[in-house]
């Protein structure tokens, strides 16, 4: 169910504007003295969670007590962005600090037999009836790319990844880890390939008793890593499959609870989706409790966020237009909460533009490594987190999605318009986007068309203003095209007639 926009955290409810108190660091006394040693880093990366799906972002139906607590003790971001509107490219960009055009990983990975070239007849055949040919799939994150794990490992961190990898060709089964391009080959010491309690596992179909939750191996392996972490700082990426479809449907007590909270006539899938959000929140809480129980929470920075916007049929993407699979705000603006005792102001809200691309430079600053790279497309968030230093509030962001979705015949069966809260999967055509300050431009390759929006005045992107602000439109399009050229982006090709 969509929550009214006045209940969303969109800046008007900000109790604490993170940029407004950059020179004030008054909270250290309230939370104890900061630990001078490099902090542990816990990144909880969930799948397909909509901006408005949880309590910290205004949802009044779905109960997320553990995220509520994390938000209460940390910083909640209102303008956080995923690097892409779908799973694999967001992960590739997050892991490398490079946007998807630079790292050339713009779509979900496939099976090894789905390797094509631009002019492969089988590849061209996929786009019958369409005017453009997208770039061939990228199947594997190149081993030459330096990941977060490798960068942190070089600074003495023990590294772990549990759950979803999804930046290499499926091996053995759908989303199965590659033996040559898996997390072990990309800097992770501790790994656990598991779907956990998610229906992808095709196990654990038994019903749980009232008030109970299924055991989630992904959560338990994360806890195991935390319990065994001694002597050196750690980086753990708990990469959830929740709340991606298919949905878990064998929790009758939770289903009954939410069925009673939603209005009569609400679709069953929406109710089951609420159940799955509750499961996710429960598992997040177990991991956070493990930090507390082991005494590691005081010197651990916790980041909770999603890889892209929510599924249009079931998720609440807040007041935003679009959803997973497109570059309107609903597809790329995501929930993000950070907590770090004695450093981050408790209960704070940050309205600044931030990106998951910022994790690499931020983590390098956390370790005081001094490492920087001209190929990183993010900036350090340390000024926002600690109140020390300055943050470039006008920093630009870019996105690149040179594909059609859905693939195959389903594309032609899908509606062509993308609106707000549609409740169905729409056609997505190859497009790129550029945000600079309050303005955002979306460029569509098929008809060489650009749309311009003022997100401050129009966060739902319902009022296209290109004709009213032609110079801004021209400037942003020029900046987007310059960036795509500089990173050698793969641009969809027009078919020869």
DSSP for 117-133 reads -TT-HHHHHTTTT-SEE
Backbone angles phi, psi at 184, to 5 degrees: -65, -35
Q: Which pLDDT score is estimated for 355?
A: 98
Helix, strand, coil percent content, the chain, rounded in steps of 5: 30, 15, 55
In order along its 497 residues, the chain shows pLDDT tens digits of 343 333 444 433 333 456 443 333 333 334 556 667 899 999 999 999 999 999 999 999 999 999 999 999 999 999 999 999 999 999 999 999 999 999 999 999 999 999 999 999 999 999 999 999 999 999 999 999 999 999 999 999 999 999 999 999 999 999 999 999 999 999 999 999 999 999 998 766 677 889 999 999 999 999 999 999 999 999 999 999 999 999 999 899 999 999 999 999 999 999 999 999 999 999 999 999 999 999 999 999 999 999 999 999 999 999 999 999 999 999 999 999 999 999 999 999 999 999 999 999 999 999 987 778 888 999 999 999 999 888 888 899 999 999 999 999 999 999 999 999 889 999 999 999 999 999 999 999 999 999 999 999 999 999 999 999 999 999 999 999 999 999 999 999 998 76
8 Å CB contact between 317 and 50: yes
Q: Tokens 């997040």 label which residue? A: 284
Ranges of beta strands (E only) in 231-332 are 234-239, 300-306
3-class DSSP state for residue 494? strand
Q: Which pLDDT score is estimated for 87?
A: 97
Q: Which residues share a beta bridge with 337?
A: 76, 304
Nearest to 312 by CA among 84, 54, 53: 53
Q: Which pLDDT score is estimated for 205?
A: 63
Report the largest interatomic distance among the alpha carbons of the chain, rounded to a whole angstrom: 70
The token pair that represents 477 in the structure block: 């399009």
Question: Which domains are present in the chain?
Answer: 28-393 (3.40.720.10), 398-494 (3.30.1120.10)
Q: Which pLDDT score is estimated for 204?
A: 61
Q: What is the dihedral of CA 17, 18, 20, 23, to 10 degrees?
A: 150
pTM for the predicted model, two decimal places: 0.94
DSSP 420: B
Q: What is the C-alpha separation between 95 and 79, in angstroms, rounded?
A: 20
3-class DSSP state for residue 453? strand
Q: Which pLDDT score is estimated for 84?
A: 99
DSSP 428: B
Q: Which pLDDT score is estimated for 33?
A: 66
Q: Which pLDDT score is estimated for 190?
A: 98
Q: Which pLDDT score is estimated for 497?
A: 64
């Amino acid at each position: 169910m969509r929550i009214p926009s006045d209940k969303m955290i969109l800046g008007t409810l900000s109790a604490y504007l993170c940029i407004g108190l950059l020179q004030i660091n008054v909270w250290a006394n309230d939370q104890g003295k900061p630990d001078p040693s490099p902090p542990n880093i816990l990144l909880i990366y969930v799948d397909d969670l909509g901006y408005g799906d949880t309590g910290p972002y205004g949802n009044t139906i779905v109960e997320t007590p553990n995220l509520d607590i994390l938000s209460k003790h940390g910083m909640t971001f209102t303008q956080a962005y995923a690097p892409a509107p779908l799973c694999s490219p967001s992960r590739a960009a997050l892991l490398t600090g490079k946007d998807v055009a630079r790292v050339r990983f713009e779509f979900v990975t496939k099976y090894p037999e789905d390797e094509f070239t631009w002019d492969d007849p089988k590849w061209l055949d996929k786009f019958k009836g369409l005017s453009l040919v997208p770039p061939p799939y990228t199947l594997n994150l190149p081993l030459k790319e330096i990941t977060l794990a490798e960068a942190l490992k070089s600074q003495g961190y023990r590294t772990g990844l549990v759950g979803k990898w999804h930046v290499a060709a499926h091996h053995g089964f759908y989303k199965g880890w590659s033996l040559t391009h898996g997390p072990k080959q990309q800097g992770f010491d501790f790994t656990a390939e598991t779907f956990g309690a998610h229906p992808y596992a095709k196990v654990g179909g038994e019903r749980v008793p009232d008030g109970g939750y299924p055991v989630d191996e992904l959560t338990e392996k994360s806890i195991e890593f935390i319990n065994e972490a001694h002597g050196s700082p750690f980086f753990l990426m708990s990469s959830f499959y929740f709340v991606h479809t298919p949905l878990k449907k064998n929790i009758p007590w939770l289903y009954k609870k939410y069925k009673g909270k939603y209005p009569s006539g609400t679709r069953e899938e929406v109710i089951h989706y609420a159940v799955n959000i509750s499961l996710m929140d429960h598992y997040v809480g177990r991991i956070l409790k493990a930090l507390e129980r082991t005494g590691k929470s005081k010197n651990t920075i916790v980041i909770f966020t999603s890889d892209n916007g929510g599924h249009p049929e079931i998720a609440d993407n807040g007041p935003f237009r679009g959803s997973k699979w497109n570059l309107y705000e609903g597809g790329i603006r995501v929930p993000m909460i950070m907590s770090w005792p004695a450093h981050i102001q408790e209960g704070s809200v940050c309205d600044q533009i931030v990106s998951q691309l910022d994790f690499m430079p931020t983590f390098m600053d956390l370790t005081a490594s001094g490492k920087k790279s001209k190929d990183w497309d993010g900036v350090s968030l340390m000024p926002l987190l600690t109140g020390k230093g300055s943050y470039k509030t006008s920093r630009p962001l870019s996105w690149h999605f040179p594909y059609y979705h859905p693939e195959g015949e389903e594309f032609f069966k899908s509606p062509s318009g993308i609106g707000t809260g549609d409740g169905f999967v729409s056609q997505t055509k190859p497009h790129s986007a550029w945000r600079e300050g309050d303005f955002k431009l979306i460029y569509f390759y098929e008809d060489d068309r650009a749309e311009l929006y003022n997100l401050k005045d129009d966060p739902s992107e319902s009022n296209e203003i290109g004709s009213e602000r032609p110079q801004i439109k021209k400037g942003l399009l020029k900046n987007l095209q310059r960036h795509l050229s500089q990173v050698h982006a793969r641009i969809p090709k027009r078919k020869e007639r």
